[in-house]
Amino acid sequence: MGDYYLYILASQRNGTLYISVTNDLARRVYEHKQGIVPGFTKKYGVHLLVFYESYDDTRDALARELAMKKWRRAWKIALVERANPQWRDPYETL
């Protein structure tokens, strides 16, 4: 596993999506789940980890984040569906 993570959170299956990058996936998802992070995820109840990728270099993770944020919603949903068809939250296993 790399030191940087691109991750997607969802409010529910096919719900509101949030894409970001972190260097500590478990801590960051915990912050989202506890509502510690003010802003979009807290306001819209986006706290289910449904997808993540690891990177060795922060520049690669940030480039992927920027690219994915330009994607159509359907492409993001398809990515999650391929990697995590049940939309299960793997947070407890991180």
pLDDT, one tens digit per residue, over 17-26 is 999 999 999 9
Beta strands in 1-94 (DSSP E): 4-10, 17-22, 48-55
Domain residues for the domain of 37 are 4-93
- Most distant CA atoms of the chain, gap in Å: 31
Q: How many domains is the chain built from?
A: 1
* Per-residue model confidence as pLDDT tens digits over 30-69: 999 999 989 999 999 999 999 999 999 999 999 999 999 9
Domain CATH number, residue 28: 3.40.1440.10
Q: Is the pTM of this model over 0.85?
A: yes
Joined together, the tokens standing for residue 57 give: 């270099």
Q: What SS3 class is residue 86? A: coil
Q: How far is CA 43 from CA 16, 33, 47, 72, in A?
A: 11, 12, 11, 22
